[in-house]
Amino acid sequence: MATVEDTILIREMTPDDVNGAVELSYEQEWPHRHEDWEIYLALGEGLVAESEGRIVGTTMAWRYAPTFATLGMVIVANEFQGRGLGRRMMEAMLGRLAGCTVLLNATEAGAPLYRKFGFEPLGRIHQHQGTARMVPLAQLRPGERVRPLGGADSDLAHLYDRATGMGRGKLFESLGRSGSAVVLAQDHVPVGFANMRRFGRGWSVGPIVAPDLAGAKALASHWIGAYAGSFCRLDVPADSGFSEWLEEIGLPKVGEVHTMVRGTAPVFDERCRLFGLVSQALG
């Protein structure tokens, strides 16, 4: 006899599925707005699980050259959980990503499922958020300057590639359309940048790429000070030293996810580090 699970169709996500996807993320109390899902879909690919016309599951992935991808927005509607739907969607998405190293940021709920697919721990990400307060001006070192992104700043995507160990050019370009960036320059040479964009309940600062913690603080201070009074969020690597400073300036840690990898982990350039993620899903 056919079970409910047999009648659930796993198919390609289209823009028409975004309303249903937003309902799923709201049910999990995730902050993603319709626009956030739309941007994710425009940048990547998704699968949905559909039951009697209703979206009851989602999984998304984003490819980065040469052979990397991140996977995220893995959600199964509460009433459908524990029946193998998460596994079915993961099998289908990982099949599409064959040959890629896949990275993801796992919640407590997601980690057991990912372990079953051979994902291994790589690090931790701290989620910080709250109402931004005025911050003291960052102490810049001689020759350093934080300035707006200029038309001639063509090398920044390359910094992002080095900090993540994978090609982020397309994502960087898209961030330019959906937000603003400031650049950290040392003796007029760009060495880092930070983006700010609308996301979820307020504003998100990220990605943040800098040569060191002092540079990352200078970049983040710019945005946090500029958006004092607004709700701001940052997702930062736990081992970056950034978390402690964010606590001090009044943006507490509210959660933690575990970065996991399946395949050969990307190699980062230690002189050009990622201090803030664009988002947990995009990595």
Ligand X SMILES: CC(C)(COP(=O)(O)OP(=O)(O)OC[C@H]1O[C@@H](n2cnc3c(N)ncnc32)[C@H](O)[C@@H]1OP(=O)(O)O)[C@@H](O)C(=O)NCCC(=O)NCCS
Q: Site residues (CB under 6 A) for ligand X?
A: 28, 74-76, 81-87, 106-107, 109-110, 112-113, 116
Q: Which residue has the tokens 């979206």?
A: 55
* Shortest Å, Cβ 94 to ligand X: 13
Position of minimal CB gap to ligand X: 86
Token duo for residue 191: 């060495």
Query: Half-sphere exposure of 257 toward its Cβ, with a 13 Å CA cutoff?
Result: 21
Strands (E), 34-100: 45-51, 54-64, 68-76
User: Shortest Cβ distance from residue 166 to ligand X (Å)?
Assistant: 20
Instruction: Tell me the closest approach of the beta carbon of residue 111 to ligand X, in angstroms.
Output: 8
Question: Least distance in Å: CB of 214 to ligand X?
Answer: 32
Query: For 5, which DSSP code?
Result: G
Name which of 35, 203, 215 is nearest 129 in CA terms. Answer: 203
Q: How far is the CB of 40 from ligand X (least distance, A)?
A: 14
Choose between 87 and 271: whose C-beta lies nearer to ligand X. 87
Closer to ligand X at the Cβ: 87 or 141? 87
Nearer to ligand X, 109 or 228 (CB): 109
String of DSSP letters for 165-211: TSB-HHHHHHHHHHEEEEEEEETTEEEEEEEEEEETTEEEEEEEEES
Tell me whether residue 7 or residue 139 sits nearer to ligand X (CB atom). 7
**Dihedral angle of Cα 12, 51, 74, 107, to the nearest 10 degrees:** 180
Which of 122, 149 has the CB closer to ligand X?
A: 122
Measured in degrees and rounded to the nearest 5, phi and psi for residue 194 equal -140, 135
Task: Name which of 77 and 218 has its Cβ closer to ligand X.
Answer: 77
CB of 141: closest distance to ligand X in angstroms? 38
Q: How far apart are CA 181 and CA 174, in angstroms?
A: 12
Nearer residue to ligand X within complex by CB, 74 or 249? 74
**What minimum distance in Å lies between the beta carbon of 218 and ligand X?**
32
Please give the Cα distance from 145 to 112 (Å, whole number): 45
